Chains A and B, each alone.
Chain A
Amino acid sequence: DIQMTQSPSSLSASVGDRVTITCRASQSISNYLNWYQQKPGKAPKLLIYAASSLQSGVPSRFSGSGSGTDFTLTISSLQAEDFATYYCQQSYSTPRTFGQGTKVEIK
């Protein structure tokens, strides 16, 4: 199985801050990497697919980068509605696997 490791596990930030979350795969996954946002009691929502492509309807303050084993999700200017948990996920091979999540909290 491909292990996905996110860091940090949680972070505190203020509205307007630039936030960066990293995800590392245990082996190369090319750009088969997706990012999701999950709010309490809701299903995850796709933000970024293929490492850097913005899903339709997602604000442009979200961006993704990386290839191979190291990936980054960046929120350029954190908004109130962005406080949530973020997950990376590899779609390179089965079983599909997720990172453990990064909880973004209000400072």
Chain B
Amino acid sequence: QVQLQESGPGLLKPSETLSLTCTVSGGSITTYFWTWIRQPAGKGLEWIGRIYPSGSTNYNPSLKSRVVMSVDTSKNQFSLKLTSVTAADTAVYYCAREGETAVTLRPFDYWGQGTLVTVSS
């Protein structure tokens, strides 16, 4: 059973860089797209972007100027960096796997439990 676990600092000051890592267990990271999604308290889900094991990325245009994703296949991990954070970036951040294309048409089939990141001075 594939499991994902987010890790990283839970409290940041404005203008700092958010850095989160997602560790994948129970399966290899060398296939599928790996995704970050966030959810402000009481609000809906926002797709941040995704990375393929080759390093190929797609980012949400609304965040593209501040986002960098990377992958470390040797550790079965992928990471998110979001620069110049503000209070508007306060949210629960989820990592997720995007399923295969041919049959399932790419749903988010496995999710981490989520980690709360608060931006406050």
> A residues within 8 Å of B by Cβ?
1, 31-32, 34, 36, 42-46, 49-50, 53, 55, 87, 89, 91, 94-101
CB pair B106–A98 under 8 Å, yes or no, is no
CB pair A91–B98 under 8 Å, yes or no, is yes
A1 to B106, CA, bound (A): 17
> B residues within 8 Å of A by Cβ?
35, 44-47, 49-50, 58-62, 94, 96, 98-99, 103-109, 111-114
Closest B-chain residue to A51, C-beta based?
A: B105
A98 to B47, CA, bound (A): 8
CB pair A89–B107 under 8 Å, yes or no, is yes
CB pair B109–A46 under 8 Å, yes or no, is yes
CB pair A44–B45 under 8 Å, yes or no, is yes
* Residues of the B chain whose Cβ atoms lie less than 8 Å from the Cβ of A45: 111
Interface centre among A34, A53, A99 (most CB of B within 10 A): A34
A82 to B99, CA, bound (A): 24
* Residues of the B chain whose Cβ atoms lie less than 8 Å from the Cβ of A50: 103-105, 107
CB pair B104–A87 under 8 Å, yes or no, is no
A100 to B60, CA, bound (A): 17
* Residues of the A chain whose Cβ atoms lie less than 8 Å from the Cβ of B98: 91
A91 to B102, CA, bound (A): 12
Partner of A43, one of B35, B50, B94, B99: B94
* Residues of the A chain whose Cβ atoms lie less than 8 Å from the Cβ of B108: 34, 36, 44, 46, 89
Closest A-chain residue to B101, C-beta based?
A: A91
CB pair B109–A55 under 8 Å, yes or no, is yes
CB pair A32–B113 under 8 Å, yes or no, is no
* Residues of the B chain whose Cβ atoms lie less than 8 Å from the Cβ of A99: 44
Partner of B112, one of A31, A43, A96: A43
CB pair B112–A49 under 8 Å, yes or no, is no
CB pair A49–B94 under 8 Å, yes or no, is no
